[in-house]
Amino acid sequence: MTVDNQDYVLCSHCDLVIELTDVAVGHKATCPRCSTTLFKNQNNMKFRAAMYAFCSLIMLIVACGFIFIDINLVGNINGVSVLDIPKTLFFDKYSYISALFVLFVLVFPLLNLSIIVLLCSKIKLTKYRKRDLLIVYEKIQHWCMPEIFLTGILVSFVKLMSYGSIGVTGTFWAFCLFVFFYIKALVIFTPGKIWNEIHRNNFTLKPLQVGKTGIYQNIKLCNCCHAMVPTEYAKCPRCKQKSQLRGRDKIQWTIALLVTSLIIYIPANLFGIMITEVFGSPSSSTIMDGVIYMWQAGDVPVALIIFAASVVIPILKIISLSLLCYFALAVKHKKKRNCLKMKKLYNAVEFIGKWSMIDIFVVSVVCSLVRNQQMMGVYPDIGVSFFATVVIITMIASQKFDPRLLWDRIPTRK
Ligand SMILES: [Zn+2]
Ligand SMILES: [Zn+2]
């Protein structure tokens, strides 16, 4: 089976022009230079993606409606639904964290799943409507975190065990199914196929030379829809978004955001993230206090997960992105081997970035569950807002970075 109207593609990572021929159903095409996936020919993509997205939406609605976790706090049973978590944060005057929770765990995944259903079902849409939906999908997909929230719930169970016995209801399993179907829908959905229904991806007028870079042939890749556009076009003709030949000026943004996140990382660790109040006497605990407490209580794996997600990953991310900026701008003679290493580092930074949100979700779950007016209560502390800001800023920093800059100074095949 041939790839519909898509004979050439430009690699989004290394800017190489590649000819795509005969990608069999169930297979994918990868870049010969940097191994980035260029195209996936999913079997029956539209039907399967729409089905999984639809099932996921149903499970999300069920999961939001009822109590999904309960805890027995010295005789008092306290149950919460998914929606109670942001509500509690809001009433604790942490509307910032509450808003992040609603957006990242509920609204953005809900929007993305609805977009997949609309684009992949038999509903008739104009090409302008399809374009708008795909642009929204591209913009918010980095910010969907239901799978991280689910991991956060599992980690919080270990913390909650020290307060009382925990129970889960059928709604909890509905939430697990929502996350499972959500991941399946995302893996199957191929936006490139829908973009090609709007217009083919090649807007260049002259013949392309395979194995040479786009910059050498005066063509650039649209960052939004991945069309190949002549460099003189300010906007992409397919998605009407502005695109640059290289995001060289964005490196300044990356560096500025990294410095900002490094500054905010200090109060995020110095201030407490959680206040535990027992019989009216409050005590605040920082991220490291939580790790040490878990370690001493014998929950070594959970202590390591929280230590890795909250302390190691943000610092590693800041160091890695600084190294990538240095490699992109300052190294004059690059070797392919080093470029590949840097590309792997960039992929790792992109992947692990949002996993630092785990601790925020753990705090949200624990705070909403452990409430017993007379005896004890757990409340968020100011450090949690600083920490969430560090995660968000480092995520924006890695999105601003243009990976094509890593490959610009190595010779391509003649
Ligand atoms: Zn490549
Ligand atoms: Zn475009």
Instruction: Give domain status of residue 258, yes or no.
Output: yes
Does one domain contain both 27 and 95?
Answer: no
Does one domain contain both 150 and 190?
Answer: yes
Reading the chain (414 residues) residue by residue, the pLDDT tens digits are: 334 444 888 999 989 999 888 788 888 889 998 889 888 888 889 999 999 999 999 999 999 988 889 888 877 888 899 999 999 999 998 999 999 999 999 999 999 999 999 999 988 899 999 999 999 999 999 999 999 999 999 989 888 888 888 989 999 999 999 999 999 999 999 999 999 999 988 898 888 888 888 888 899 999 899 999 999 998 999 999 988 888 778 889 999 999 999 999 999 999 988 888 888 788 888 888 888 988 888 888 888 888 888 888 899 999 999 999 998 888 877 888 888 899 999 999 988 888 889 989 999 999 998 887 677 888 899 999 999 999 999 999 999 998 888 888 765 544
> Ligand 2 centroid vs 1 CA: distance in angstroms?
26
> Ligand 2 centroid vs 193 CA: distance in angstroms?
14
* Ligand lying nearest the CA atom of residue 404: 1
Instruction: Give domain status of residue 413, yes or no.
Output: no
Instruction: Give domain status of residue 227, yes or no.
Output: yes
Does one domain contain both 230 and 279?
Answer: no
**Both tokens of residue 376?**
């004890």
Does one domain contain both 208 and 264?
Answer: no
Instruction: Give domain status of residue 410, yes or no.
Output: no
* Ligand lying nearest the CA atom of residue 343: 1
- Check which CATH number belongs to the domain holding 343 and give it: 1.20.140
Distance CA 406, CA 400 (A): 14
Instruction: Give domain status of residue 110, yes or no.
Output: yes
By residue range, what is the domain housing residue 36? 1-41+200-237
DSSP string of 302-359, one letter each residue: HHHHHHIIIIIHHHHHHHHHHHHHHHHHH-SS--HHHHHHHHHHHHHHHHHGGGGGHH
* Ligand lying nearest the CA atom of residue 242: 2
Does one domain contain both 319 and 258?
Answer: yes
Residues with CB under 5 A from ligand 2 (ion): 222, 224-225, 227, 236, 238-239
> Ligand 1 centroid vs 112 CA: distance in angstroms?
27
* Ligand lying nearest the CA atom of residue 192: 2
Does one domain contain both 115 and 210?
Answer: no
What was the pLDDT predicted at 1? 36
What was the pLDDT predicted at 205? 83
Instruction: Give domain status of residue 409, yes or no.
Output: no
Distance CA 280, CA 67 (A): 28
Distance CA 240, CA 225 (A): 10
Q: What are phi and psi of 379, to 5 degrees?
A: -125, 150
Residue finishing a domain among 183, 217, 237:
237
Does one domain contain both 368 and 380?
Answer: yes
Nearest to 363 by CA among 314, 310, 311: 310
DSSP string of 214-261, one letter each residue: TGGGTEEE-TTT--EEETT-SB-TTT--B--S--TTHHHHHHHHHHHH
Does one domain contain both 256 and 399?
Answer: yes
What was the pLDDT predicted at 20? 84
What was the pLDDT predicted at 51? 96
Q: Work out how many domains the chain is built from and give that number.
A: 3
> Ligand 1 centroid vs 276 CA: distance in angstroms?
50
- The Cβ-side half-sphere exposure at 3, using a 13 Å CA radius, reads 24
> Ligand 2 centroid vs 243 CA: distance in angstroms?
8
Instruction: Give domain status of residue 350, yes or no.
Output: yes
What was the pLDDT predicted at 373? 66
Does one domain contain both 301 and 181?
Answer: no
Q: Alpha carbon of 384 to those of 174, 299, 353: distances in Å?
A: 28, 22, 17
> Ligand 1 centroid vs 36 CA: distance in angstroms?
6
What was the pLDDT predicted at 5? 43
C-alpha dihedral sign at 104, 105, 106, 112:
positive
Does one domain contain both 229 and 165?
Answer: no
